[in-house]
Amino acid sequence: MEQIGSCFEEYAIFDGHLIARAEYDDGATVIDRKVIDIVHQACIRIRYLISYNFIICAKWNPLNETKYDSKIQEIIYSFTLSFSASLLYVFAEEFKRYTYYI
């Protein structure tokens, strides 16, 4: 979880039954001791098991620069402990702004 930053599970729903991702990939499942074809009939679902955060910013915003990724990741992980968007704001204010001339 620490490496990718989130933990999630995948499953499918078919006719009110929960289906394992492996069964969805196989295209068949067993319901009431009968093998059922579920190709193009089951709906895949993804459920996140922990909180997650997104930052939405402009294309040329310094938050999009990879050199700040580790610090931003540290700040984002602190959001789950206690919401502190002000930390991100203060950090972003220290960036050198990109100047785009037309």
pLDDT single digits (tens) 7-53:
788 999 999 999 999 999 999 999 999 999 999 999 999 987 766 66
Where is pLDDT greater, at 85 or 16? 16
Closest CA to 21 of 30, 31, 11, 34: 11
Query: % helix / strand / coil in the chain, to the nearest 5?
Result: 35, 25, 40
Does residue 2 register a pLDDT over 60? no
Query: Residue 97 and residue 56: Cα distance in Å, rounded?
Result: 17
Tokens found for residue 65: 């620069």
